[in-house]
Amino acid sequence: MSRRMWKAISPLIATVILIAVTIAIAAIVIAWVYGIFGTTTGAGEKLQIFADARLIIKQDKVNFTVTAKNIGTSVVTIQNVYIKENATCTTPSIKVDTDSTNKQLNPGEVKIIVAEFNKDSTSCSLQPGTTYTVVIVTGGGQAYNVPVTAEQG
């Protein structure tokens, strides 16, 4: 009976191959986490919300203003703005830089988003000094939460 001798790869080569595979997998994971391969939604829609948000309570309405910058690769359209803690406040008008017809931010643009909520005695009761979350919803379905403390105006 003849016996064949099978040789395995050397431990040094096996170690080098394992290290190379581990580095390749780590590089793929890091690239995915940092968005090198693009966003998962494919929209390229991204807003940067600045910390200058104001929620001013007036006699007949509530004004919300905030500065936003489109840091994505596609045009962002503002679809809706609402106060998370008070669903009874309706939004009759949304403006982007005083323009109520064009609610878009092109890539790289910085604009002021203004929302005027109707206020009456039975609904939309906000208290000065209370922090609310105002949600900005874009055409691509992204929602941006903006915490803001209400003030009397």
Provide block-wise average pLDDT over 10 residues at a time, the chain (153 residues).
Answer: 67 92 93 67 78 90 92 91 80 80 90 86 78 91 92 87
pTM of the model: 0.68
Q: Residues 6 or more apart from 14 whose CB is under 8 A from it?
A: none
For residue 78, give the H/E element and its range. strand 76-83
State which amino acid sits at residue 117.
F
Q: Residues 6 or more apart from 112 whose CB is under 8 A from it?
A: 65, 66, 67, 68, 96, 97
* Pair 149, 129: CB distance under 8 Å: yes
Q: State the CB neighbour count (10 A cutoff) for residue 94.
A: 17
Q: Residues 6 or more apart from 118 whose CB is under 8 A from it?
A: 60, 61, 89, 90, 92, 124
**pLDDT of amino acid 42:** 47
Q: Residue 108, by phi and psi: left (phi above 0), alpha (psi -120 to 50) or beta?
A: left
